[in-house]
Chain A
Amino acid sequence: MEDSNSRTPILDLAPQKGFGRIRAALDDLKAGFRLLPLAVALGWLDIKLRYRGSVLGPFWLTLSTAIMTAAMGVVYGYLFHMDLPHYLPFLSLSIVLWGYVSGVINDAATAFTQSTSLFHARRIPATLPVIRLIVRNVLMLLHNVVVIAVVFGIYHIWPKQSWSLLLSVPLWLLDSFSIILLIGMLGARFRDIAPIMASLLQIFFFVTPVIWKPDLIYAGRQYLLLDPFYPIIEVMRGPLMGYEVRPVLWYAAIGQGILLWAAAAALFCRMRARIPYWI
């Protein structure tokens, strides 16, 4: 494959089998991370372009999240009989986290098809669009963190147990990578994946304890574990809000991550070279 250590680069391509495929996939991964500055620039330009010419620029993201938090806070706070000082910090954190999750999954289905012109212009590592997408969504998340900071500031709340971020942030990033790779490949081959993902996310937004607190459910809360989004959201949100996260949720979240990586790695090793043929 591409060997950049020697003085002249060598591109040697032939159909791969077995270990050759794994090596080719790892080479692709390495090449993708070597182009990290490009992925960062592309991800940032994606956001900048979307808001080029608008007055607020990317802070439209912040503003719309703020408005959504305020509106939902008032309505659902009333419906759930919750007082705002307790509910609003929870809600702002939840909405911002869910915004990242749904952003990643929605974009994932078009991760490769969106980069068609990049793929057709020259050889690029298939992991480059994946990293670009993570960068884009992380940057969007950072714009929204402002909303959390303001709400926490208003109610004089400080994030608890922030040490847990050392575990949950890497887990989120690793999961993002594998899920974008997985859904991206499926989405490049089957064009139905994008609408399927969009409607699933809509359902899970209400089914998952995003706008409602998980302790509102007493009977049958073990069924919540069947919700694929619940553990991953909870291990990030719970410690920050200062409530106890059951160990089973951590196991579930880590187990999910391992499964996602196994599936993504298997599919990527097998289908990596086919991606340009599909898009």
Chain B
Amino acid sequence: MPSIVVDQLRIDFPLYHGQSRSLKRHVGDRLSSLRPGSPAAHLVQDGRERTIVSVLQDISFSLAPGERLGLIGRNGAGKTTLLRSLAGIYEPVHGRVRLEGSIGTLLDSSLGMNVELTGRENIRLFALHGGLSKQQTAQLDQDVEAFADLGSYMDMPVKAYSSGMTVRLAFGLATAMTPQILLMDEWFLAGDGAFMNKARERLEAMVQHADILVISTHQPDIMRKWCTRVIWLENGKIRMDGPPDEVLEVYLTA
């Protein structure tokens, strides 16, 4: 049974100031702690300016099959970081993240694709990542080609694509394997109207298979249509958690 359990998750980000990231600073800090009063002692004070940004604090929630969670909040509220830590990219500094089920991610707008490579080559790399057999790879290739509708662009480098084309390719790839858990950032809304309808069909089919969706977006209407639950993040904390209509009403008037 696919599920997500997040328990007291905290993610801190070290913000290295341009200079404090260098070896000079680091060694300077060490040296000056040995010899107070040396010229390097001055570096410590600067070095201590190194701020640790607490991006997420004390996040706890759990999701059961069939739940479609929307993340809402202003820029910098921690939506993308939460999605990334759910994907296992950022491991918790404190707390625990546990996901059961295969995971599909639509986080990076390029989906980790190499823009110098053609669409087809990127599909092959994606298939290798998933450990697919030759037959499955061929099937993936066909499926994505049919969905993304790129025509002869399939054999052109991705850097020649328009942003909408890249999104279609990425979305087709990430949803072709029908992951049990889909994590999605808001960038995918770059597609045109026709694509949005197609994307919704595909997503809805996926969710019907009792899978979990976590999506971050700024668009309330998308959230009302797609989500069964909304978490409002503010400054890295959960401000509100409930059904879309309830949370959105407060969020939009706030």
Q: Which residues from chain A sit less than 8 Å from chain B, CB to CB? A: 8-15, 34-35, 37-38, 41-42, 45, 49, 52, 117-124, 189-193, 196, 273, 276-277
Q: Would you call B22 and A191 a contact (CB within 8 A)?
A: yes
Q: Check B125–A41 contact: CB distance below 8 A.
A: yes
B124:A11 contact, CB within 8 angstroms? no
**Is the pair B116, A120 in contact by a Cβ cutoff of 8 Å?**
no
- The proximity string for B residues 183-222 relative to A, scoring 1 for CB distances below 8 Å and 0 otherwise, is 0000000000000000000000000000000000000000
B13 at interface, CB cutoff 8 A = yes
B254 at the A/B interface (Cβ < 8 Å)? no
Q: How far is the CB of A17 from chain B (nearest CB, A)?
A: 12
Pick the contact of A12: B2, B96, B101, B116 (CB < 8 A): B96
Q: Which residues of A contact B121 (CB under 8 A)?
A: 45
Chain B residues positioned under 8 Å from A34 (CB to CB): 131
Q: How large is the interface on B (under 10, 10 to 19, 20 to 34, 35 or more residues)?
A: 35 or more
- A279 nearest CB across to chain B (Å): 11
User: Contacting A122 at CB < 8 Å: which of B94, B107, B114?
Assistant: B107
How many Å from the CB of A33 to the closest CB on chain B? 12
Closest to A273 in B: B91
Pick 9 A–B contacts, CB within 8 A, sort by A. Answer: A8-B180, A9-B102, A9-B103, A13-B85, A35-B129, A38-B128, A190-B21, A191-B22, A277-B13
Nearest-neighbor residue (CB-CB) of B85 within chain A: A13
Task: Report A14 CB to chain B, min CB distance, Å.
Answer: 4
Contact B128 A277 (CB under 8 A): no
Q: How far is the CB of B241 from chain A (nearest CB, A)?
A: 22
- CB-CB under 8 A from B26, the residues of chain A are 190
Report yes or no: A121 in contact with B111, Cβ–Cβ below 8 A: yes
Known interface pairs A9-B101, A121-B105, A193-B23; A277-B96 also in contact (CB < 8 Å): no
> Are A120 and B89 touching (Cβ within 8 A)?
yes
- Residues of chain B within 8 A of A12, CB atoms compared: 96-99
B22 is contacted by which of A15, A42, A190, A277 (Cβ under 8 Å)?
A190
Query: Given that A121-B111, A277-B14 are known contacts, is A11 also in contact with B131, CB under 8 Å in the complex?
Result: no
Please report which residues of chain B, range 112-142, place their CB below 8 angstroms from some CB of chain A when the two chains form the complex.
112-114, 116-117, 121, 124-125, 128-129, 131
**Seed contacts A11-B98, A120-B84, A276-B90; 12 additional CB < 8 Å A-B pairs:** A8-B2, A8-B101, A9-B103, A10-B98, A13-B98, A15-B93, A45-B121, A119-B89, A120-B108, A191-B22, A192-B24, A196-B23
Asked if B110 is at the interface (CB within 8 A of a chain A CB), the reply is yes
A45 → chain B closest CB, angstroms: 6
**Contact between A38 and B129, CB atoms less than 8 A apart:** yes
Interface residue B164 (Cβ < 8 Å from any Cβ of A)? no
Answer yes or no: B230 CB below 8 A from chain A CBs: no
Do A37 and B92 form a contact, CB below 8 Å, given A8-B102, A12-B98, A49-B116? no
* Contact, CB under 8 Å: B129 / A190: no
With both chains docked as a complex, state the minimum distance between the C-beta of B86 and any C-beta of chain A, in angstroms.
Answer: 9
Cα A119 to Cα B90 with chains together (Å): 10
Q: Give the distance in Å from the alpha carbon of A49 to the alpha carbon of B115 in the complex.
A: 11
B88 within 8 A of A: yes
Contact A117 B96 (CB under 8 A): no
CA distance A49 to B158 in the complex (A): 13
Q: Any chain A CB within 8 A of the CB of B95?
A: yes
Best-surrounded residue of A42, A122, A276, A277 (most CB of chain B within 10 A): A122
Contact: A277 with B23, CB < 8 Å?
A: no
A123 contact from B87, B101, B108, B124, Cβ within 8 A:
B87
